[in-house]
Structure 1
Amino acid sequence: MTRYQMNSKHAGMALDRGVQGVLGRPVPRIDGIAKVTGAATYALEHPVGNLAYGVAVTAPVGKGRVTSIDTAAARALPGVIDVIAGDGSLPRDTPVFGRPDAPLYDGTIGSYGEVVGVAIAESFEAARAGAMAVTVRCEAIPGRFDIRDGQDDALATPEGALLPDTVVGDIETAMREAPVTLDVTYTTPTQVHAAMEPYGSIASWDGDRLTLRAPVQLVTGGIAIIARSLGIRPEDIRILSPFIGGGFGGKTATADMLLAAVAARRLGRPVKVALSRRQTFHATYGRSETIQRIRLGAGPDGRLTAIGQDSLVGQKAGASAFFEPVALGAVALYAGANRSFTTRTAQVDLTARGPVRAPGEAVGMLGLECAMDEMAEKLGLDPIEFRKLNEPSVDPSTGKPFSTRRLVDCYDEGARRFGWAERERRREGDWLIGHGMATASRVNFLAKATARVRLGPDGRAAVETDMTDLGTGTYTILAQVAGEALGIPVEGIDVRLGDSEYPSGSGSGGSFGAASSASSVALACEDIVAELARRMGAASADMTLKDGHAIAGNRRVALSELVGASPIEGLGTIEPGSNSASWSQSTHGAQFAEVAVHAVTGEVRVRRMLAVFDCGRVLNHRTARSQAIGGMIWGIGYALHEHAVVDPRTGAYVNRDLAEYHVPANADVPQIEVFFIEEIDRQANPVGAKGLGEAGISGAGAAVANAVHDACGVRVRDYPITPDKLLAGLPPVR
C-alpha cells in the first residue's frame, strides 16, 4: 500500500514517467455511450422487485407547531399501504453541511415545507394521492423570513470556520486617508439547487443491513449522517451511486433517503421515495442570500491601500454552523495593506443553507469583481491594468507563498483571444453593445482518498473506489491516470465507482474530487509498477510501460505474462499534510463577456463569453472544458436569472418550480470559449492538478454584469440584473 501525505513538493512518480500519452488528451467519456443510450442506471432507475412508493408530507407553515395530523382519508384511498406521520421516526429536515445527523420530527416547524410524514402505496400515483389527502394542522407564529430581520443579533464567525474573519491593518483609517475610495453594497438573493435529476432514493433492508440506491456525492460522509439519523452502525449501510444526474453540493444525505429507509424498515419491503420539484426547494438546502459591503481605497496610481468585503448571510436557526463564505475567493486575490473580510450570520426561519457550487466565490465574486470595475472607472484605468497593478507576490492576507499563480498570464491570453484592446462600446439599432471582464478565483483543496487498482492476468486493469461521478468525467480521468501510469490504453481500464464497499474516496465536492481521487489511483499504480519492475529485474525508474508491455534491459514483456495467474494489486491513499497550511493554493482565471442591452425593453442578451484558467495539470481537456463551460453558463444565470423569491408572510418560495425559478435556457447561452494556462502544481497533490469544477462559475456573472454596465451605463448592485432594474436607470426613449 502506498500512503502519501502532502508535506512537501512532490517529486514525481510513474505517472510522470508514463509514455502512453493518454493523460490530458481530450478522450471522450468512457461512460458516454451508456448515458446517451439510457443504459446508465441512476438512483431511481435501479430494477428492484416488490417495490413500494413513498411521497413526502410536508408542513404548510414557515414557523410554528403541528397541532394535529389526520391520516384517515389517506389510508382509505385505494393502493395506500401506510402513512407514517408525527411519530418521531422521520426527519423534519435535511442534514446540512456541518451537522452529523438530521433533526427528527418533534412537532415544531422551523421552515416552510419541513417533512412531517410519508405516504406509502403500491404505485407512485397512489402514494401522491395519499400524501395530498393527509391533513396537517398547524399553529403558526411569526418568523424571520429575511436576513435583515436577523441582522441585529447576527452571529459572528465561529472558531474553526472554513473562512475565519480576516482583518489586517486598519481599514477604517486607510479608507479615510485614501485619495480615491469606493464604499458600496451588493446583494445576492436566495438560490436553490435545480439539478436535472430529482432527489430520490430506493431503500431495502436485509435483516439489519440497509442498502440505499441514491445519488450521494460524498459516500463515506453520507453513510455517517444516515447512520446517526437512523441509529444504526455505519458498517450496516451500503450505498450504491454509480451515476448522479447533477449534484452541485446538494446531494449528500437528503430527506428522501431517510424517508425511504424508515418506510422500508416499517414495511419489510423496498421503498422508493422521490421529492417533487416543489418539495426540493424546501426540503433540501440552498444558497444563502448575501449583503456584501465592499470597500476599496487607492492612491492616484491605482494601487490599493484598503480592501474589504464584509458580509451578512443567513442560516436556518439552529441548523448548523455552516455559512456562505462570501469572501473565500477574495482573501488572497488582491494586494492592499489594510484588509477586512468578515462574515456575520443572521438566524432565519428559512430552509437550511449549505454548499452550492463554489460556496463563497460564486456570489462573492459578483460583488467584488463589479466593485473592482467601479473603482477602475473612478481611477480612469483599464479594468485589467487595475487588477495587474494589485497583483500580489505572496498571499496578501497570510504572507504564504503561492503554490502556482498564473493569473496575469490568464489576463493577457484572455485579452488577446477576446480582442479586449479592440473592443468598443457601440449601438446596433436599439441594442447597446458592451464588454466586461472579471477575475475567477477558487481556493484549492485536497481531501483524503483511497483507491484500489488491480492488474489482471489478461493485462487489463480495474480501478475501484467509492468516488462518484456527477457527470464531471471521473470515470474517464481515472482511466486516463491508470492508463498512463501502467502503460495501458484507456479501453484496457475498467473503472468502478460509487459503491461504499470499495475503498473510501474523496467524493465529489469542493473541486477536490478529480485531484484527490486521481492522486489515490496514481499512488495505487505505484505499488503495481514497483512489483512489475521487480519481476522484470529492473528499477522502476529504468522501466518503460507502454501498450500493455514492460520494457527494460533490452526486454519487452507483455504485462499479462508478468502478472501470471494472480492479479497484482495496489492500494493508494492520499491525504492533506502541511502543504495546505504552508502554501496559498487557488485556481485562477480571467472571464470575458460581450452583451447587448435593449435600450427600450431592458432585455439583456449575452453574445459571447471567453475564459482562460490556470488549474494546474489538465487531466482531460475535453471534460475540463465542459466543466468550465457549465460553470460559466451558471454564472449567466446568477447574473441575470436566478432568484428564489420568499413570501415574507409565510417563508415559502413563491416560484418553487422550473417554470418560475429561471435558469439559462439554450437561447440564453452564447458561444463560449475556454482555454488553459497549464503548469503542474507540485505543491498541490501528486498529479499536480487543481480544482476546476467550481472555478468556471466564479467571476462569470461579474463579467456579464460589467459588460451590461459598459453597454448602457447602468450599474445594478442588487442581483439578478432584470429589465425593470435596468429600465429604472436608462434614459427615457424619445
Structure 2
Amino acid sequence: MTVVRSPLGQPLDRVDGVSKVTGQARYAAEFTEPGLLHGCVLGSRIARGRILAIDAEDAMDVAGVHLVLSHRNRPRMAADDESYEDADAAEGSPFRPLYDERILYSGQPVALVVADTPELARYAASLVHVEYEEEAHETDLCGLLEHAHAAPAKLPPARGDADAALAGSALCIEVEYLSPVEHHNPLEPHASTVLVQPDGSLLIHDKTQGTQNSQSYICQVFGLDPKRVRVCAAFVGGAFGSGLRPQYQLTLAVMAALKLGRSVRVALSRPQMFTFGYRPRTVQRLRLGAAANGRLQGLSHLAIGQTSRFEDFTEHVVEWSGMLYQCDNVHLDYRLVPLDVHTPLDMRAPGAALGLYALECAMDELACAVAIDPLQLRLLNYADANQNEGKPFSSKALRDCYRQGAERFGWSRRPLEPRSLRDGHELIGWGMAGGVWEALQMPASAKASLGGDGILRVSSATTDIGTGTYTAMTQVAAAEFGLPVERVAFRLGDSSLPTAPLQGGSATVSSVGTAVQQACVALKSKLFDIARQRPGSAFAGLTLEQVCFAEGRLSRRDDPDQAIELSDLIGSGAPLEARVDAKPDPRREAFSSATHSAVFVEVRVDEALGRVRVSRVVSAVAAGRVVNPKTTRSQILGGVVWGIGMALQEETLIDHRLGRYMNHDLAEYHVPVHADIGEIEVLFVEEEDLVVNALGSKGVGEIGIVGVAAAVANAVYHATGRRVRELPITLDKLL
C-alpha cells in the first residue's frame, strides 16, 4: 500500500495561485451581466453640519442617468426605527448612509448617482449641487485629550498598587508615545455588485471578510428574508480588517437595486477608501518602575484613542502590558476622545500593533536606564503565566524565539552604547522587540462530502483575504483523509455554505480548520460504519482508530491487505456527506493561549540627511503547528513590511481646518516599496500545543506586524542616540 505523506507542515503552493495569476479569479467589481448599472458616490465637502438642499436636475437631464439617490428618496430601512449591528460593531449607533440630513464627517456619502456606465455616473455626480449649513468641527485628538472618557471595553482589573510600586522603585521612567491615523488600503478597493435575480432575490458579490455578516446586515437593514439574499466573496484582494464591517458601498448598491429593480454595482475610488474605518490615532503614556537590576516592580499604561461621535470604538491596546512581562503591580487604562470623524476599524493586529509599539519602546528605554542589554531585560522579566487572567499558557516558546532569533541575527555582538556602529557615512543601529497575540478560536461549521469520482469536497462560508485559506483548508482535509491534495476541493466565500466567523484575528485556521478536520472525521466514521455493516466484513468489531484511510482506500492497520476502495462503499448513488458544528475545546478555559515572537532589526541612518533604511530583519515566531510554512512565511513577511512602513512612512494627514484627509491616494499615502525593504529572515520556532485546538495551530496573520515598529524605533535610537517617540520616524524628526 502506498503511504501518502501528510500535507500538513508542507510548503504547498497556493491551490488558487494559477487562478489568480491567469486572471481567472474574479473579484467583487468584476462580475457583470447585460444591463448592469453603475453607481458613483458623492461625498460631503464639510466635516459637520447638515444638508439644506440637493439639486440633482442637471444630473438627471444627462441621458443614461437613472437615479440620484439621497436621504430624501431612498428606500425605507428597517433601521429607520431601530439601530442595527453587524458582527464587528462598536458601542453606539452604527453609521447609516443617506439616513438623514446630518453630516457627521468629511467625505460622508450624501448622494449616489446611478447610470449606464461608471464614467457617466462620475460625470453626472459632478453636476449634483449640495447646499450645506456648516457647523464647527473638531478632528484633532491631541487638542482634546482633556475631554477623553472611559472606553466601554472591560479591562483587566488592576493588581497590586502600581502607584506605590512606581514611587518606591529604584528606577522609574515616564514616557509618552504618539501614533497617527493609518488607512488599510488593500490592493482591491471596496465594491459591491448586486445582481437582481429573475425571482427578485439578490445575489451580491461583496468585498468582505465575512459573507454571512454582510448577508445578515443587509437583511436587518432592509427587512429582507435571508433566503432571498446570497452574498459571495470567492476572492478578496486584501482587507487587513477593512472588510470586517459591511462598508457603505454595500448598503448603497442594495438601496439602488431595490429602488430601480435593476442590478447595480457601486465601486469606491481610492480616495473614497479613506472615508470609513482606519487605525485610530493614539497617545500612550507609560510608567515603568524597576529595581536597580531591571526587574519590573510597577507598571502603568494609559492609552487615549480617537473615535467618532456616534460610536465608541475600542481595541485591546493596553492589555498586552499586563501579560507579556512578570509584574505584580499593574494599572491599565484606555480612554476615548469623540471627534467629527468616521468610526475607526480593526486593522492588522488591532490594538497590539499600537500597544506593543509603546510597551517595547518603553522597555528599551528602561534597558538603557539600567545599562543592560534589552534582550537580557526581557528575559529577566519573563512571564510564565498570563497575570491578566491568572492562568498558565497552553504553550509559550518565547524564550526560544529570543534565543534563536538572537543567534541568527548575531545579537551578541551588539554594543550597548548608541552611535557605536558605523559604515562610512551611515550610522548602524540594532534594535529588538517582543510580540504577542491571542490565539483565538471561534465556533465554525464545515461540510465534507465524497462521491464516486473520488474527490473530497469540503466547504465553509469563510473567506480568503489573501492569507492562503483555500490552501490551508485543502491541506487539513487531505491530511485527515489520507488523500493527495489534488483530490481535495475546498469551497468558501458564499453565505449559503456552513456557518463561519469573520476572517480576522488570526483565527481562521484554528476555527474553520478545526471544523474541516472534524467534518472529515465525521465522514470517515460514516464510511467506516458502512464498511463494518457489510456481510463478512473484515472491519467488523474494529474501532475507527484501528483502521486507516489512505489513497482512497479503507484498510486495517494490523493487516493493510484487508482493504476496500471508498468508491465501492459509496457506490453509484448520491455522494456521502457529513456536516459538523465545531466549538473550542473546554480544556482551553483553564489556559491562556497566545502566539509569540521576537523581532531583531538593523537600520542604517544617513548621518547628514537623516534618511533611515532597514537593512536586515530576523523575525522568530512561535505559533504552534505551522500548517503551510510557505504561505505562513508570506504572512510574516507581509507583517514585517507593514511594520517597517508603520515605523517610517505610514501616516494619514488631516487638515484640521477642513476636517479632511489630504493624502488620500497611493501617491501621497506612503507605504514601503521593494527598494525600501532589505533582507527579511523568518524563523518558525517549534512549539507543541495540545490544548489550543486539535491541529495545534495558533494562526499568524497578526503576529508578523507586532513589535516590528518598536524594534525599528529602538534600532534608530541605537544608531543615532536620538529617541523619537512619535510615529512615523521621518527625517525631519531625526534632524
The equivalences for 1:160-309 within 5 A come to 161=153, 164-206=155-197, 207-251=199-243, 252-282=245-275, 284-309=276-301
CA–CA separation in structure 1 for the residues paired with 2:94 and 2:498: 23
Name the SS for the 2:486 alignment partner.
helix
Q: Deviations over 1:144-179 (max 9, x none)?
A: 202234433322132xx3x52542111111111000
Partner of 2:536: none
- Inter-CA distance 512–718: structure 2 relative to 1 (3 Å threshold): same
Deviation for aligned residue 1:366 = 1.3
Deviation for aligned residue 1:94 = 11
The number of equivalent residue pairs is 705
* Higher mean C-alpha deviation, range 556-565 or range 236-245: 556-565
Q: Which of 16, 21, 32 is the aligned partner of 1:31?
A: 16
1:61 aligns with 2:46: yes
Contact 2:313/2:343 (<8 A) preserved: no
Partner of 1:156: 150
Partner of 1:13: none
Contact 2:595/2:623 (<8 A) preserved: yes
1:314 aligns with 2:295: no
CA–CA separation in structure 1 for the residues paired with 2:39 and 2:270: 15
CA–CA separation in structure 2 for the residues paired with 1:655 and 1:156: 31
Deviation for aligned residue 1:97 = 2.8
Identity within the alignment, %: 38
Partner of 1:688: 696
CA–CA separation in structure 2 for the residues paired with 1:60 and 1:168: 48
Contact 2:367/2:373 (<8 A) preserved: yes
Partner of 1:448: 443
Partner of 1:438: 433
Deviation for aligned residue 1:102 = 4.3
1:547 aligns with 2:551: yes
Deviation for aligned residue 1:228 = 2.1
The equivalences for 1:484-499 within 5 A come to 484-499=479-494
One-letter identity of the residue aligned with 2:548: T
Gaps of 5+ in 2: 533-538
CA–CA separation in structure 2 for the residues paired with 1:234 and 1:708: 54
TM-score, structure 2 length as denominator? 0.93
- Inter-CA distance 465–675: structure 2 relative to 1 (3 Å threshold): same
One-letter identity of the residue aligned with 1:564: G
Deviation for aligned residue 1:77 = 2.4
- Inter-CA distance 186–580: structure 2 relative to 1 (3 Å threshold): farther
Deviation for aligned residue 1:559 = 2.2
1:388 aligns with 2:379: yes
Contact 1:166/1:342 (<8 A) preserved: no
1:71 aligns with 2:70: no
* Higher mean C-alpha deviation, range 571-580 or range 118-127: 571-580
Contact 1:20/1:483 (<8 A) preserved: no
Contact 1:440/1:695 (<8 A) preserved: yes
CA–CA separation in structure 2 for the residues paired with 1:264 and 1:291: 43
Name the SS for the 2:650 alignment partner.
coil
The equivalences for 1:373-452 within 5 A come to 373-423=364-414, 425-452=420-447
1:556 aligns with 2:563: yes
The equivalences for 1:671-682 within 5 A come to 671-682=679-690
Partner of 2:7: 22
Partner of 1:331: 322
- Inter-CA distance 531–86: structure 2 relative to 1 (3 Å threshold): closer
CA–CA separation in structure 2 for the residues paired with 1:514 and 1:694: 13
Q: Deviations over 1:592-616 (max 9, x none)?
A: 1111001111111110111111111
Contact 1:79/1:126 (<8 A) preserved: yes
- Inter-CA distance 222–579: structure 2 relative to 1 (3 Å threshold): farther
One-letter identity of the residue aligned with 1:273: V
Partner of 1:139: 133
Contact 1:155/1:346 (<8 A) preserved: yes
One-letter identity of the residue aligned with 1:303: R
1:670 aligns with 2:691: no
Partner of 2:724: 716
One-letter identity of the residue aligned with 2:294: G
Contact 2:74/2:259 (<8 A) preserved: no
Deviation for aligned residue 1:264 = 1.3
Partner of 2:654: 646
Contact 1:644/1:661 (<8 A) preserved: yes
Deviation for aligned residue 1:705 = 1.0
TM-score, structure 1 length as denominator? 0.93
Name the SS for the 1:707 alignment partner.
helix
CA–CA separation in structure 2 for the residues paired with 1:609 and 1:94: 41
Contact 2:8/2:475 (<8 A) preserved: yes
Partner of 1:113: 107
Contact 1:69/1:86 (<8 A) preserved: no
Contact 1:218/1:509 (<8 A) preserved: no
CA–CA separation in structure 2 for the residues paired with 1:28 and 1:330: 38
- Inter-CA distance 719–88: structure 2 relative to 1 (3 Å threshold): farther
Partner of 1:526: 521
Deviation for aligned residue 1:579 = 4.7
Name the SS for the 1:701 alignment partner.
helix
One-letter identity of the residue aligned with 1:308: S
Q: Deviations over 1:416-449 (max 9, x none)?
A: 1111112454212211111111001111211111
Contact 1:94/1:253 (<8 A) preserved: no
Name the SS for the 2:661 alignment partner.
coil
CA–CA separation in structure 2 for the residues paired with 1:457 and 1:102: 50
Contact 2:193/2:206 (<8 A) preserved: yes
The equivalences for 1:453-532 within 5 A come to 453-532=448-527
1:128 aligns with 2:122: yes
One-letter identity of the residue aligned with 1:539: T
Name the SS for the 1:670 alignment partner.
strand
Deviation for aligned residue 1:314 = 1.1
Partner of 1:6: none
Contact 2:458/2:488 (<8 A) preserved: yes
Name the SS for the 1:675 alignment partner.
strand
CA–CA separation in structure 1 for the residues paired with 2:73 and 2:431: 53
Contact 2:249/2:267 (<8 A) preserved: yes
CA–CA separation in structure 1 for the residues paired with 2:618 and 2:569: 49
Partner of 2:535: none
CA–CA separation in structure 1 for the residues paired with 2:387 and 2:41: 49
Q: Deviations over 1:79-112 (max 9, x none)?
A: 3222112326389999763368642421111111
Gaps of 5+ in 1: 1-17, 728-734
Contact 1:52/1:271 (<8 A) preserved: yes
CA–CA separation in structure 2 for the residues paired with 1:136 and 1:94: 29
Q: Deviations over 1:296-352 (max 9, x none)?
A: 111012110112221101110122x43132124333111111101210111111121
One-letter identity of the residue aligned with 1:300: A
Contact 1:639/1:720 (<8 A) preserved: yes
Q: What is the RMSD computed on CA atoms of the aligned residues? A: 1.9
Q: Deviations over 1:483-523 (max 9, x none)?
A: 00001100100111101111111231111112111100000
CA–CA separation in structure 2 for the residues paired with 1:522 and 1:361: 30
- Inter-CA distance 585–451: structure 2 relative to 1 (3 Å threshold): same
Deviation for aligned residue 1:208 = 4.7
Contact 1:594/1:606 (<8 A) preserved: yes
CA–CA separation in structure 2 for the residues paired with 1:626 and 1:94: 34
Contact 2:601/2:712 (<8 A) preserved: yes
